[in-house]
Every structure is written in C-alpha cells, then in structure tokens.
C-alpha cells in the first residue's frame, strides 16, 4: 500500500542520488510489483547509513508526494472505521472505538518499519467523553423548546427533574461575588447566567458551589449557541443554554418581581477513555532544534473522519516514510494526536508534559488538520509575532510564499485555538499551519479564487457520517501535502533565518491568549 509505493519512490530517489540502494525493512517488502523490479534479494538487516543519505531538499521531498498513496491511506482509514459499526452502528474512528485503535496500530506498524530512522513512542492519557441522552427545560410549565444542553453536562440528580425558582445571577457569573450577593435566593434555585468572559464550566461550578440545582446560561449574542462545559470540575450542575431572545423575556419578568417556577431534567453520562498519542522523532538532525508537526488521528463519533483529520494523518504518515530518504540538519518530530475532537486533549497533554528544557528544544509546531475539504479554500492561519510566539509570523509567510510561487490563491483565517496548535502557542512555542475549511461558508470571492460553490460549507460533511472516501478533494489534499513537505524540508535543512526561541519566561511576560474555542468546542 502506501509503504510500498513509498519504497518505490525511495528506490528511484536513491538510485538517482547514487547513494546506496536499500529497503528499509524486510517485513514491508511484500509488494510483488516492487519485488519484480529488483533482480536481487536484500538482507533483512540491511539498513542505510543515515549519514550517507542525501541532505533533505525541498524539491526532492515534494516530488515524492503521490496522490495514489493518499488515496490508499484514506481507504485504509475507512476500512478501520468500519470495524466500529458493531458498537456504533456506523463507521467511526472516535477515541475508544475499534476504528481509532486500528488507526493507531496502523501508524505504529508503519513507523516501526523505520525504527532505524525514528525514535518512536506512545503517550497514554485519559480523555473525557460524554453523551446527553435527554434534556428538558420548563419555565412556568411551558416547555422551552430550543433549550440546548451543554456538552459534558452532568445529569440532574438521579437523572430526575429538579424544580426551583429561576434566579438571575449578577454580571456574568464568573466571580464568587456575583453569587454571594444573592446567596440565599440562589440556594435550591435554577440560576440564570449570562454567557461571556469566562468558560461555561466555571459558571456551572460556581452555581453548584452556591447550592443551585441547575444552571441555565443565556446567549450574549442573538440566537442559540452550542457550548461545552469542558473537562468536568467538582460541584458542576446540569447546565443548559438558551437564546438571548428567550432569556430577555424571563429577565423582564424577574425584574418585575415575578416568580418563574422552573424545572430541569438532564439524563447524561460522562466517561473517561484511555487513548494514546504517537510521537516519532528522526534520529537524524540536531536534537536540540526540533521541527515539529502534527495532525489528529481521531474522528468525531458521527462519522469516519476521512477529511477531518484522516487527511492530515495520512499526509504526515506518508511524509514520515518519504523523509527516510534523507539526512537532516535539524530533527523532525511527527505527532499523531488523539482526542483532538474531545477538546485538543492529546496535544495539550503532550505540551503540558514537556519539561522546560524539552519545551525549549521545539523551535516551532505546524498543525495540519483538514487538508482536503471538498469545497476547499487554501487557508493559512493568520499567526503573527505580536499576539503569538515570535516565529509564528515567519511560518505563516512560508505558506504564503509557497502558494504564491505555485500560482495558487490563499486566504488568511483566524488563529484562535480551534486546533492542536493551541497548547503550543500558549506555552511559548511558535506555531501555525494550513487548513481547507470546515463549517464556514465559502464566499463568492472565494469561489472565484478556488472554484467550488459559494454559499456552501467548505466541508459540507464536516463532523458527519458522509466524511467518507468520497468526501475529500484529493487534488487539494495532494497540493497541501506538497506544502507540508516544503515546510518540513525548509526547517529540517536550516533554521538559521528562523527566530530563536524566546526564553521560557514567555508565559510570565506574555498574556496567554483567551480563546472562545478550544478545538471545535465553544467554551466561553
Ligand atoms: C504514484 O504511485 C503509483 C503506484 O503506487 C505509480 O503508478 C505512479 O506513477 C506514481 N505517481 C507519481 C506521480 O509518481
Ligand atoms: C412548579 O412546577 C412543578 C412541576 O411542574 C409543580 O409540581 C409545582 O407545583 C410548581 N410549583 C409552583 C409553586 O408553582
Ligand atoms: C485566483 O483568483 C483569481 C480571482 O481572484 C482568479 O481569477 C484566478 O483564476 C485564481 N487562480 C487560480 C489558480 O485559481
Ligand atoms: Zn480536526
């Protein structure tokens, strides 16, 4: 499959570079087409001397990218997703599923063929997953039809109804004082809290600490919102969201002294799931100057996640194989994150586990999530050196320059915590990346720049069952895989023009950005 075509590529490259001919490992040597190309046999223990390989070169590396390898990788991921059907009734690679474990096994077994080239490790951690089976909000016996439970909400006690008066919390319910001012009324009530300033999770926790039975959080913008409480905190209570329009009616009534008899029912569960990141660092190159890149291996429960982020996963896995044709000046580290969809859990766990010394060795992190959306735009994260660690802007410019040199259009998109770069930039590591769009709507101008359909989502199958083999735009995916290759090759060859890491007091001297999103989840 991908590995054998990669071998084929390696062979031609090595021959043309007149370095020693090799096969990375005998167990991958099963492709008959490739076998027939070779008129002699190779010892199973013949590994190349990495120092004798040609130095990484961006054009040579980009030339190895082959859409056939991307397609066969996507096919493999889809076949893994199908193993989950028994448990989930549809293909998925959500954490904890067979489809996700098979994805991880596949990455490991592919990388293990190149053990002479990579130091490979796994990193286990727990991630929280939850499901709301039923929820209901009634105010004065009127059902509030568009009330939305927050993700990861705890159930009401015994999953039964709780009833109490609706009580408005001062300000935005982010501070103890907002509750203290009305302490007696809040006990055994259902609190009504405005969205904004601090995470939903904190509002719910404070509500619980002051004895509220449940929390209703109302939007500070028109319409509804779909938020999450995030990682469970002690004392949180069942929490639902309502629109600002509905809330304003209640607030007026409360201000006029009315009592609003309110009932909440939430039947939900939260569970801890063990899962794993896979990390592979090249043995070649300076280990104190690490060029890091990552994509996430998990999908949402709703579907097989072939674009999100099967595409990034397969791009990186292929590029990890292709890279074994080269020696490097700076080490390259590939990260295959788990539990991105649960709220960037794997990448956050990884960054938080780094010692200050290990952190300081990572010169930059490049995020590759959703490389081939069907109604794509070539999107570059609009990172900069004022709001983000210095070097983020140089990385952004590398992407822009490449699209420009290749006569391709691009757009800049918000760099606001929606993927696995989040923990890196919050911990002083320069970051950036590219994407091709999720649930955003393509503008007319973008349709003239990239083709596709104005008014539709970039990925109409985003987080759905139809994110299957027919979903990705393979041409866009291939082009972006070349750009990933270019980013790796450029920095693996030289970081001389790239800013040095700022010292590690970064987080003390810089305000850590507060983002509304953590991954795909709205947290504030
Ligand atoms: C890609 O790989 C396939 C075989 O897997 C090969 O037939 C094809 O020629 C390759 N394409 C390029 C552009 O190298
Ligand atoms: C409040 O609503 C509950 C459930 O609808 C009802 O049983 C209870 O009698 C009501 N209390 C008041 C004071 O209206
Ligand atoms: C880039 O966008 C312009 C319109 O802004 C369009 O005319 C041109 O064809 C696009 N280039 C490519 C390569 O799609
Ligand atoms: Zn994703």
Token representation of residue 156: 């009401």
| pLDDT tens sequence across 272-304 | 999 999 999 999 999 999 999 999 999 999 999
Residues in CB range of 123: below 8 A, 6 or more apart: 276, 277, 278, 279, 346, 349, 350, 353
Structural domain harbouring 226: 129-271
Cβ-Cβ contacts under 8 Å for 11 (sequence gap 6 or more): 21, 34, 37
68 lines ligand 1 (CB under 6 A): yes
385: buried, middle or exposed (CB in 10 Å: 19+, 13-18, 0-12)? middle
Residue identifier of the C-alpha nearest atom 4 of ligand 1: 5
Q: Is 478 one of the catalytic residues?
A: no
Closest CA to 24 of 51, 5, 48, 41: 48
Answer yes or no: do 426 and 506 share one domain: yes
**Is the distance from CB of 2 to CB of 321 less than 8 angstroms?**
yes
Confidence grade of residue 33 (pLDDT, cut at 50, 70, 90): very low
Residue 232 has pLDDT above 60, yes or no: yes
pLDDT value of position 506:
54
pLDDT value at position 510?
A: 64
Within a domain: 150:
yes
231 pLDDT band, cuts 50/70/90, is: confident
Tally of residues, the chain = 524
Ligand at minimal distance from the CA of 160 is: 2
DSSP helix/strand/coil, 337: strand
Bridge partners of 130, per DSSP, are 270
Give me the residues paired with residue 128 across strands. Answer: 272
Of 237, 271, 305, the domain-final residue: 271
What SS3 class is residue 447? helix
Q: Identify the CATH number of the domain in which residue 301 sits.
A: 3.40.630.10
Contacts of residue 200, Cβ cutoff 8 Å, sequence gap at least 6? 150, 217, 227, 228, 229, 230, 239, 241, 523, 524
Both 382 and 295 in one domain: the answer is: yes
Residue whose CA is closest, atom 5 of ligand 3?
Answer: 449
Give the burial class of 183: count Cβ atoms within 10 A of its Cβ; 0-12 exposed, 13-18 middle, 19 or more buried.
exposed
pLDDT exceeds cutoff 60 at 49: yes
Mapped onto helix, strand or coil, the DSSP state of residue 72 is helix
**Residue nearest ligand 1's atom 3 by CA:** 68
- Measured from the alpha carbon of residue 409, the closest ligand is 3
Catalytic residue chosen out of the listed positions 172, 301, 340, 342 = 340
| Residue 129 binned pLDDT confidence (cut-offs 50, 70, 90) | confident
| Average pLDDT of the residues in 58-63 | 98
Report if residue 191 sits inside a domain: yes
Can you give the pTM of this predicted structure?
0.82
* C-alpha distance across the termini of the chain, in Å: 44
Residue 13 reports pLDDT greater than 50: no
Q: Is 23 part of a structural domain of the chain?
A: no
Locate the ligand 3 atom nearest the alpha carbon of residue 451 and give its number: 14
Whether 339 and 197 share a structural domain = no
Residue 261 CB–ligand 2 contact under 6 Å? yes
Residue among 435, 420, 416, 426 at smallest CA distance from 336 = 420
Q: Tell me which residue has its CA closest to atom 14 in ligand 1.
A: 66
Residues 399-417: tens digit of each pLDDT:
999 999 999 999 999 998 8
Contact criterion met (CB below 8 Å) for 32 and 465: no
Q: Is the same domain home to 293 and 241?
A: no
Ligand 2 neighbour 263 (Cβ under 6 A): yes
Q: Residue 511 has what pLDDT?
A: 66
Q: pLDDT tens digit string along 302-350?
A: 999 999 999 999 999 999 999 999 999 999 999 999 999 988 999 999 9
Would you say residue 139 has pLDDT above 90? yes
Share of the chain above pLDDT 90, in %: 84
* Residues 30, 24: Cα–Cα separation, whole Å: 12
Two tokens at 49? 């001397």
Nearest CA to ligand 2 atom 9: 261
Per the CB < 8 A criterion, the answer to whether 58 and 493 are in contact is yes
- Confidence band of 509 (pLDDT split at 50, 70, 90): low
Which residues share a beta bridge with 217? 193, 241
Task: Report if residue 175 sits inside a domain.
Answer: yes
Tokens of 246: 């509905």
66 Cβ below 6 A of ligand 1 = yes
Residues 366, 397: Cα–Cα separation, whole Å = 13
Mean pLDDT over each residue of the chain, to the nearest integer: 90
Closest CA to 195 of 232, 159, 154, 148: 148
Backbone φ, ψ for residue 488 (5° rounding): -65, -50
Average confidence (pLDDT) over 489-502 = 94
Ligand 3 nearest atom to the CA of residue 445, by list position? 5
The pLDDT-based confidence of 36 (bands split at 50, 70, 90) is very low
404 and 511 assigned to the same domain: yes
Q: Are 274 and 124 in contact (CB under 8 A)?
A: yes
On whether residue 34 sits in a domain, the answer given is: no
The residue nearest atom 8 of ligand 3, judged by CA position, is 449
Closest by alpha carbon to 116, among 64, 50, 53, 56? 50
User: How far does residue 292's CA lie from ligand 2's centre (Å)?
Assistant: 58
Say what percent of the chain tops pLDDT 70.
90
User: Which domain CATH number covers 141?
Assistant: 3.50.30.30
Shared domain check, 260 and 289: no
DSSP string computed for 374-404: TT---EEE---TTTS-TTHHHHHHHHHHHHH
Element (H, E) at 270: strand 261-282
Q: Tell me if 360 is assigned to some domain.
A: yes
pLDDT band at residue 38, thresholds of 50, 70 and 90?
Answer: very low
pLDDT value at position 508?
Answer: 52
Please tell me whether residues 262 and 329 are part of one structural domain.
no
Domain end: 219, 238, 271, which one?
271
Rounded distance between C-alpha atoms, residue 5 and residue 31, angstroms: 9
Are 407 and 472 in a shared domain? Answer: yes
pLDDT at 28: 33
What average pLDDT does range 230-251 have in this prediction?
A: 96
Residue 50 falls inside a structural domain: no
Query: Is 292 domain-assigned?
Result: yes
Range 56-83 average pLDDT: 98
Q: How many domains does the chain have?
A: 2
Are 110 and 150 found together in one domain?
no
Question: Would you place residue 29 in the very low, low, confident or very high pLDDT band (cuts 50, 70, 90)?
Answer: very low
CA of 430 to the centre of ligand 1 (A): 35
pLDDT at 114 over 80: yes
- Co-location of 176 and 301 in the same domain: no
**C-alpha angle 324/328/332, rounded to 5°?**
75
**Which of these three, 226, 250, 271, is where a domain ends?**
271
Quickly tell me which residue has 């270019």 as its tokens.
Answer: 486
Q: Which atom of ligand 3 is nearest to the CA of 408?
A: 13
User: How far from the centroid of its chain's Cα atoms is residue 10's Cα?
Assistant: 30
Residues 291, 265 within the same domain: no
CA–centroid distance, 155 to ligand 4, in Å, is: 28
Ligand 2 atom closest to Cα of residue 141:
5
- Kindly give the distance from the C-alpha atom of residue 392 to the centroid of ligand 1, in angstroms, as a whole number: 35
Distance CA 74, CA 79 (A): 9
Shortest-distance Cα residue to atom 13 of ligand 3: 408
Same domain assignment for residues 257 and 324: no
- Flag whether pLDDT at 124 surpasses 70: yes
Counting from 1 in the atom list of ligand 2, the atom nearest the Cα of 161 is: 4
- Note the pLDDT of residue 277: 98
Encode pLDDT of 353-391 as tens digits.
999 999 999 999 999 999 999 999 999 999 999 999 999
pLDDT of residue 226: 87
CA of 416 to the centre of ligand 4 (A): 14
How high is the pLDDT of residue 219? 97
109 close to ligand 1 (CB < 6 Angstrom): no
Looking at the predicted structure, is the pLDDT value of residue 104 above 80?
yes
* Mutate which of 163, 165, 166, 188 for ligand 2 pocket (most atoms within 8 A of beta carbon): 163
Q: How many Å apart are CA 315 and CA 480, to the nearest integer?
A: 9
Selection from 465, 326, 480, 503 nearest residue 406 by Cα: 480
């Amino acid at each position: 499959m991908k590995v054998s075509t990669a071998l084929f590529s390696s062979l031609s490259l090595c021959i043309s570079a007149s370095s020693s001919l090799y096969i990375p490992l005998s167990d991958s040597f099963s492709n008959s087409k490739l076998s027939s190309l070779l008129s002699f046999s190779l010892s199973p223990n013949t590994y190349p001397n990495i120092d004798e390989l040609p130095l990484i070169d961006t054009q040579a590396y980009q030339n190895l990218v082959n859409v056939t390898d991307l397609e066969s990788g996507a096919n493999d991921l889809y076949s893994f997703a199908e193993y989950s059907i028994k448990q989930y009734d549809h293909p998925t690679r959500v954490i904890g599923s067979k489809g996700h474990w098979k994805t991880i096994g596949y990455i490991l077994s592919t990388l293990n063929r190149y053990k002479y080239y990579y130091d490979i490790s796994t990193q286990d951690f727990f991630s929280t997953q939850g499901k709301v089976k039923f929820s209901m909000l009634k105010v004065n016996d009127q059902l509030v039809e568009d009330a939305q439970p927050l993700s990861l909400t705890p159930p009401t006690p015994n999953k039964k109804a709780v009833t109490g008066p609706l009580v408005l919390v001062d300000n935005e319910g982010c501070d103890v004082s907002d509750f203290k001012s009305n302490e007696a009324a809040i006990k055994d009530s259902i609190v009504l809290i405005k969205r904004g300033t601090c995470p939903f999770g904190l509002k719910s926790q404070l509500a619980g600490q002051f004895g509220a039975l449940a929390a209703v959080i109302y939007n500070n913008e028109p319409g509804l919102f779909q938020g999450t409480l995030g990682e469970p905190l002690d004392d949180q209570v069942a929490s639902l969201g309502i629109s600002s329009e509905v809330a304003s009616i209640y607030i007026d009534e409360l201000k006029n002294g009315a009592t609003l008899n309110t009932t909440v029912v939430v039947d939900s569960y939260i569970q801890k799931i063990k899962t794993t990141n896979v990390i592979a660092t090249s043995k070649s190159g300076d280990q104190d100057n690490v060029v890091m890149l990552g994509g996430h291996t998990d999908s949402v429960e709703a579907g097989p996640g072939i674009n999100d982020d099967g595409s990034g996963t397969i791009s990186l896995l292929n590029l990890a194989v292709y890279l074994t044709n080269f020696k490097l000046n700076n080490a390259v580290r590939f990260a295959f994150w788990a539990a991105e969809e649960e709220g960037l859990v794997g990448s956050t766990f990884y960054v938080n586990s780094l010692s200050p010394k290990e952190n300081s060795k990572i010169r930059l992190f490049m995020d590759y999530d959703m490389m081939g959306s069907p109604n794509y735009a070539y999107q570059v994260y609009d990172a900069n050196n004022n709001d983000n660690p210095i070097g983020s802007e140089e990385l952004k410019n590398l992407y822009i320059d490449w699209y420009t040199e290749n006569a391709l259009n691009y757009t800049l998109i918000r760099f606001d915590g929606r993927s696995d770069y989040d923990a890196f930039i919050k911990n002083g590591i320069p970051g950036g990346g590219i994407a091709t769009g999720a649930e955003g709507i393509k503008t007319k101008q973008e349709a003239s720049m990239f083709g596709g359909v104005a008014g539709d989502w970039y990925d109409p199958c985003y987080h759905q069952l139809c994110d299957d083999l027919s979903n990705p735009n393979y041409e866009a995916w291939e082009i972006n895989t070349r750009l990933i290759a270019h980013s790796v090759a450029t920095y693996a060859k030289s970081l001389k023009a790239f800013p040095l890491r700022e010292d590690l007091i970064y987080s003390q001297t810089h305000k850590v950005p507060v983002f509304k999103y953590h991954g795909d989840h709205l947290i504030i």
